[in-house]
Chains A and B, each alone.
Chain A
């Protein structure tokens, strides 16, 4: 429990909710990152610029943050490039197949009490926890 950060995490979460609300109020869009990125990869006329700008804002502020506060970006227990590549493939494939990730299902969908999103969120939390358990015992890397 030594790393527990309830205040900054609650504040960060509130800002994520505010950002998603802003995208809804101005652009009428759901702030699902995998959906925004997936849509940008298969460009449609009039539907690409806002996606690229959202992603640019996300990555741009991330880049500034990485310069100012490198400690907020420390690598996790899994350092193998191969495992990270497999993780990326699974995340990319799974989020498109299941139409959403932590933001689209976990935040926006759960807020709307969408049955699809509630089930998806319960599912990815469960398989995430199972994977961490297996990785800890099979790979021996204790986080």
Chain B
């Protein structure tokens, strides 16, 4: 129960940060990515502020042997660079630039209009599609091996 409450609080605070930072305005996001137009550097300040705070606090927290409500930290441990990472990031970036929404702001904007609903629904579809294709590629690979 307390794990659910802390997660809820973190999600809620995350949304306040997104709204205050201007991330729920796709025009602002596209303005940041538009280097040949009237460039709006605001998003760099959002990222900078977030990285600064998280870099300091996460280093302090990770001196602990475990988080407060769980037995251990669940951190990504991979350090290898592969094609999936680069291709995935490239595809994500093109979708981000096209619509101006990344996953967090899309979810936070769900009740704000028709477009964010369409965005989130198709994003979820895209996630299922990736898992489905990935499974097929893997079973095919296993059959050939």
Contact = CB atoms under 8 A, between A and B. Distances in A.
Interface of A: 1-6, 8-31, 33-34, 37-38, 41-42, 49-51, 53-63, 65-67, 69-70, 72-79, 81, 83-103, 105-112, 114-116, 119-121, 123-133, 135-136, 142-143
A41 B127 contact: yes
Contacts of A136: 34, 36-37
Please report whether the interface of chain B is mostly helix, strand, loop or mixed according to DSSP. Answer: helix
Contacts of A57: 7-15
Contacts of B68: 25-26
Contacts of A123: 86, 89-90, 93
Contact of B89 (A26, A120, A129, A135): A120
Contacts of A56: 8, 11
Given A23-B10, A102-B104, A119-B81, A17 B52 contact: yes
Interface of B: 2-31, 33-43, 45-55, 57-58, 61-62, 66-70, 72-76, 78-81, 84-104, 106-115, 118-131, 134
A21 B76 CA distance: 15
Contacts of B17: 12-19
Contacts of B110: 59, 62-63
Given A4-B41, A30-B74, A54-B7, A143 B30 contact: yes
Q: Among A69, A91, A115, which residue has the most Cβ atoms of chain B within 10 A?
A: A91
B69 to A, nearest CB: 5
Nearest to A86: B98
Contact of B51 (A42, A92, A107): A107
Given A9-B42, A27-B70, A127-B90, A58 B107 contact: yes
A29 B7 CA distance: 9
B54 A111 contact: yes
A111 B53 CA distance: 9
B11 A58 contact: yes
Contact of A81 (B5, B91, B115): B115
